[in-house]
DNA sequence: TTTAATTTTTAGCTTTGTCTAAAAATAAAT
DNA sequence: ATTTATTTTTAGACAAAGCTAAAAATTAAA
C-alpha cells in the first residue's frame, strides 16, 4: 500500500463516515486538492485491489477491507497526535501536519505499543475518537454548540474544524476540551451567542459555535 | 528532498565515514541493493543539488551541505531507535527497520523535542553516536574486541554488525552494552577467543569478536 | 424533449526512480 | 603495449502518480 493509496482511502472514509452513501469523484478531488482525472485513475487501482466498490460514473464506496484499512490509518494518525501533545508537549494546532506523515509508518507492533504507552486513549487532542486495534470506535454523544437552545450547558468535547487558525482562536479565548460552557442567549440579528466559558462571559459568532462540539451536562 | 535522495545520502555518508576518500558507484549500488545505473542517475541529481561532488568515472563524495543532511537523517534514525527501545520497550534487534521509516519524517521541531524527551542521548541502542542538532558527534574511543591482546579488559560499548541475527545471538549469550568483558586467551588454530562476560566464562568465534566494540578499562 | 451545463472518464504527456542491455571508460593481465 | 576484464555510464523502457485537454456520460434547464 503506497502513501497515496492510503491517503485516498482515508479521504473516502472521511467523506463517507457521515453520509454513508457513495461519494463523488469531484468531492474526493476537492478534499485531496488534486484533479478529478487523477482520482479516477486511483479509483481504478483501489477497485482492482478490492478496497473500494467503483462503477464508472456512479461514485465510490469503501469495501469492508478498505474501511478497515482506512480506520487503521486514522488510528495511527490520532494516536500519533496524542503522543505529540501528551509526551512531546506540542500544542493541538501543530500536530496535524506531522501526524499526516507519521500515519504512514508501517508496523502494527509499533502502533499497538504506542497505544499502550499512551494509556490506550479513546480520543485524540481534538476530541475525535481513536479506533482500537480491531477498528472499533467508541462514539460519544456530542452536539454542536450552535444546535443548543439558551440556558443549556455542556462540556466542550471536540472541534469540527481542526485548522490551526481556529484552534489558535480557541486558545486565545481560553476555550479548551473540558471547558464548561453555559449557553446564555442568542442574538437574533447575526445568530451570535453569548456564553460563559468556565464562568467567564464571552460572545462568539455562530461560525465558532457551529465548529464546537459539546456534551450536554 | 525525497526518501530516495535521503537514502542515497545516508549510504554515501556511511561508506565515506571510515575511509574518507571518494566512494564508487558499485559500492553504493551494493549497499542500497540497487543497480549501478540507478546510482549513476541519482548521483547526477544529487550533484545538481550540490549535495555531492561528482565527476564521471571518478567516484563521489559528500559536500558540506550533503554531509549535514546525511547527519540529520542519521540523527533522526538513532533518536527514533532510542525511543523505540527506551519508551516502547522494543528490543534492540527490532528497531532498525522501523527507524528506516521514521528517519524520513520531516519536522525539525519534532526531532528536537524528541531529543529532549529522551534526555538528549549521545548513543543509540547499538552504541552508535547520535549527532546533535548542529551535526556534532561525540566519538568515544572504542576498539574491536578482536584487536585486544589477552588479559586486557573492557566494557562492551557497541556492535559493528547490527543485524537481527547477531543481536539475538548476543542476547542469548547475555552480552549487552555495559557488559564487562575480560579477554582470557586466544586459540591459535581458529582465532576463537575465551572471554569472561560479567564474570561468566565463554568461548566466541573471531567473527563475533570482530563485531563487538569495547572500551578498555 | 432537445439543448446546455456539469461531471466524469479517457488519451496523452511529465517526473521520479527503477530496470536491462549496450557502449564507453578505466583497470588488470598477459 | 595490446588484449581482456571490470566498472561506469548511456540509451531506452516501465510503473506510479500526477497533469491538461478532449471526449463521453449524466444532470439540469429551457
Ligand atoms: Mn489530524
Ligand atoms: Mn485530530
Ligand atoms: Mn539502525
Ligand atoms: Mn542503531
Give me the torsion for CA of A190, A194, A197, A200, rounded to 10°. Answer: 130
Residues 6+ apart with CB under 8 A from B155: B178, B179, B180, B181, B214, B215, B217
Q: Tally the C-alpha atoms within 13 A of residue B84's C-alpha that lie toward its C-beta.
A: 28
Residues 6+ apart with CB under 8 A from A112: A133
Tell me whether residues B105 and A102 touch, CB distance under 8 A. Answer: yes
| DSSP H helical ranges for chain B | 3-18, 25-32, 36-48, 64-82, 95-102, 108-117, 164-172, 206-209
Nearest to B113 among A88, A102, A110 (CB): A88
How high is the pLDDT of residue B19? 77
Q: Of chain A residues 110-139, which have a CB less than 8 A from chain B?
A: 110, 113-114, 117
Give CA–CA dist A138/A122, Å, rounded.
Answer: 7
A109 has a chain B CB within 8 A of its CB: yes
> Which residues are A52's β-sheet partners?
A62
Indicate if CB(B57) is under 7 A from strand D.
yes
| DSSP H helical ranges for chain A | 3-18, 25-32, 36-48, 64-86, 95-102, 108-117, 164-172, 206-209
Nearest to B87 among A90, A94, A117 (CB): A117
From B179's Cα to the closest Cα of chain A, the distance in A is 28
CB of A156 closer than 8 Å to CB of A175: yes
How high is the pLDDT of residue B129? 98
Chain mean pLDDT for chain A: 97
Which bases of strand C have any atom within 7 Å of the beta carbon of a protein residue? Answer: 7-12, 16-22, 25-26
The pair phi, psi for residue B182, each rounded to 5°, is -105, 125
Residue of A nearest to B101 (CA): A105
Which nucleotide is the nearest neighbour of A37, by CA and C1'? C9
pLDDT digit string, tens, across residues A144-153: 999 999 999 9
Residue A206 grid coordinates: 455562530
Residue B212 grid coordinates: 563487538
Q: What count of CB pairs under 8 Å joins A to B?
A: 37
Domains for chain A: give ranges and CATH numbers.
Answer: 3-62 (1.10.10.10), 143-216 (2.30.30.90)
A1 has a chain B CB within 8 A of its CB: no
- CA to C1' distance (Å), from A62 to C9: 20
pLDDT band at A38 (very low <50, low <70, confident <90, very high): very high
Residue A20 has pLDDT above 80, yes or no: no
* DSSP-derived pairing of the beta strands B180-186 and A153-159: unpaired
pLDDT digit string, tens, across residues A50-97: 999 999 999 999 999 999 999 999 999 999 999 999 999 999 999 999
Q: Which residues of B9-39 are buried (b: 16+ CB within 10 A; e: fewer)?
A: bbbbbebbeeeeebbebebbbebbebeeeeb
Burial grade of B55 (CB within 10 A; 0-12, 13-18, 19 or more): exposed
Residue of B nearest to A108 (CA): B98
DSSP 8-state secondary structure symbol assigned to residue A56:
T
Give CA–CA dist A210/A217, Å, rounded.
Answer: 18
Tell me which chain A residues have a C-beta less than 8 angstroms from the C-beta of B6.
none
From B116's Cα to the closest Cα of chain A, the distance in A is 9
CB of A173 closer than 8 Å to CB of A193: no
Residue with cell 476555550: A175
Query: In 3D, which of A71, A48, A43 has the Cα closest to residue A59?
Result: A43
Give CA–CA dist B6/A166, Å, rounded.
Answer: 35
Residue A19 has pLDDT above 80, yes or no: no
- CA to C1' distance (Å), from B216 to D8: 44
Give me the torsion for CA of B86, B87, B91, B97, rounded to 10°. Answer: -110
pLDDT digit string, tens, across residues B8-34: 999 999 999 887 789 999 999 999 999
Residues of chain B with confidence (pLDDT) below 70: none
Nearest to B98 among A94, A98, A107 (CB): A107
Which site among A91, A110, A115 would you substitute to test the B interface, given the most B Cβ atoms closer than 10 Å to its Cβ?
A110
User: What is the distance between the terminal CA atoms of chain A, rounded to a whole angstrom?
Assistant: 44
Query: What percentage of chain A exceeds 90 in pLDDT?
Result: 97
pLDDT digit string, tens, across residues A122-170: 999 999 999 999 999 999 999 999 999 999 999 999 999 999 999 999 9
Residue of A nearest to B109 (CA): A90
Residues 6+ apart with CB under 8 A from B110: A84, A88, A98
Give CA–CA dist A139/A11, Å, rounded.
Answer: 20
A33 has a chain B CB within 8 A of its CB: no
Tell me whether residues A105 and B101 touch, CB distance under 8 A. Answer: yes
Query: What percentage of chain A exceeds 70 in pLDDT?
Result: 100
Which site among A6, A103, A107 would you substitute to test the B interface, given the most B Cβ atoms closer than 10 Å to its Cβ?
A107
Would you list the DSSP string of B102-125? HTT---HHHHHHHHHHTT--SB-T
How high is the pLDDT of residue A18? 81
A89 has a chain B CB within 8 A of its CB: yes
Amino acid at each position: 500500500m503506497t502513501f497515496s493509496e492510503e491517503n485516498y482511502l482515508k479521504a473516502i472514509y472521511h467523506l463517507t463516515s457521515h453520509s454513508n452513501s457513495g461519494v463523488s469523484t469531484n468531492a474526493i478531488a476537492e478534499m485531496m486538492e488534486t484533479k478529478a482525472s487523477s482520482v479516477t485513475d486511483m479509483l481504478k487501482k483501489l477497485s482492482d485491489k478490492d478496497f473500494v466498490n467503483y462503477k464508472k460514473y456512479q461514485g465510490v464506496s469503501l469495501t469492508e477491507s478498505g474501511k478497515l484499512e482506512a480506520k487503521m490509518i486514522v488510528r495511527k494518525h490520532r494516536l500519533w497526535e496524542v503522543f505529540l501533545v501528551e509526551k512531546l508537549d506540542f500544542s493541538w494546532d501543530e500536530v496535524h501536519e506531522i501526524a499526516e506523515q507519521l500515519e504512514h509508518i508501517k508496523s502494527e507492533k509499533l502502533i499497538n505499543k504506542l497505544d499502550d504507552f499512551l494509556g490506550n486513549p479513546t480520543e485524540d487532542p481534538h476530541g475525535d475518537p481513536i479506533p482500537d486495534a480491531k477498528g472499533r470506535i467508541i462514539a460519544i454523544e456530542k452536539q454542536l454548540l450552535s444546535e443548543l437552545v439558551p440556558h443549556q450547558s455542556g462540556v466542550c468535547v471536540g472541534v469540527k474544524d481542526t485548522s490551526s487558525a481556529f484552534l489558535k482562536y480557541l486558545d486565545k479565548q481560553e476555550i479548551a476540551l473540558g471547558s464548561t460552557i453555559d449557553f446564555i442567549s442568542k442574538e437574533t440579528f447575526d445568530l451570535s451567542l453569548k456564553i460563559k466559558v468556565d464562568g467567564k462571559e464571552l460572545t462568539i459568532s455562530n461560525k465558532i459555535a457551529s465548529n464546537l462540539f459539546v456534551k450536554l451536562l
